[in-house]
Structure 1
Amino acid sequence: MALIRIDGDDLVVVIEGLDKLWSFKGSLTTPLANVRGATAAPGISADPKGIRAPGSHLPGVITAGTFYQDGEKIFWDVRDPSKAVVVELADEQYARLVLQVEDPRAAVALVERALA
């Protein structure tokens, strides 16, 4: 699971627990100027993931790490698709962050308020 917080002018994502091991990341920091928006996306786990490099993918269990799809680099950390949020980025290492959070509505609201 991931925690999303706003720290000054940055969006900070902290990867918790063993997900750090599976995703090969402990945290990600992105300037808010490069965040396009966030949406709750409970159905995204059914979408193709692309090529994993490095990361973990056990269908129905976990999708975590870096994936390449259609020329884009996407970071995943999802175990429970019903709690998935997608953060769209521009001019960053990743085009998208697909994250499982405790409360998707609250996470989306936090990001959208920070962008307003």
Structure 2
Amino acid sequence: MALIRIDGDDLVVVIEGLDKLWAFKGRLTIPLANIRGATADPGIATAPKGIRAPGSHVPGVIIAGTFHQDGDKVFWDVRDASKAVVVELADEKYARLVLQVDDPRATVALIENALVRRR
């Protein structure tokens, strides 16, 4: 699971527990200027993921790490699809982040409110 917070002008994503191992990453920092938006999307886990490199995918258990699809890189950290949030990015290493969070609606509101305040 991921913890998401706003720190100044950045979105900070901290990957918790063993997910760090599966995802090959423990933390991401993304400038708010490079975030296009966020949505809760419980259906995303059934979508094609592309080629995993590096990462882990055990169907029904975990999707974690970097996946390459249609020329884009997508970072995943999802065990429970019902808690998935998608963060769309621009001018970043990743085109989007797909993250499991405790409260998807609150996380989307946190990100969207930070984007509104920034504009």
Shorter-normalised TM range: over 0.9
Tell me what 1:76 maps to.
76
- Secondary structure of the residue that 2:33 maps to in structure 1? helix
Tell me what 2:61 maps to.
61
- Secondary structure of the residue that 2:102 maps to in structure 1? coil
2:55 corresponds to 1:16: no
Moved segments of 4+, more than 6 Å: none
Deviations 1:16-47 (A, max 9, x none): 00000000000000000000000000000000
Tell me what 2:106 maps to.
106
- The CA distance in 2 between the partners of 1:91 and 1:4, in whole Å, is 20
Query: What are the within-5 Å matches in structure 2 for residues 30-69 of structure 1?
Result: 30-69=30-69
Task: After TM superposition, give the deviation of residue 73 of structure 1 in Å.
Answer: 0.2
Task: After TM superposition, give the deviation of residue 59 of structure 1 in Å.
Answer: 0.5
- Secondary structure of the residue that 1:37 maps to in structure 2? strand
What is the count of residue pairs matched by the alignment?
116
2:17 corresponds to 1:5: no
- The CA distance in 2 between the partners of 1:37 and 1:27, in whole Å, is 19
Deviations 1:21-80 (A, max 9, x none): 000000000000000000000000000000000000000100000000000000000000
- Secondary structure of the residue that 1:115 maps to in structure 2? helix
- The CA distance in 2 between the partners of 1:76 and 1:86, in whole Å, is 9
Give the aligned CA root-mean-square deviation in angstroms: 0.3
User: TM-score with structure 1 length normalisation?
Assistant: 1.00
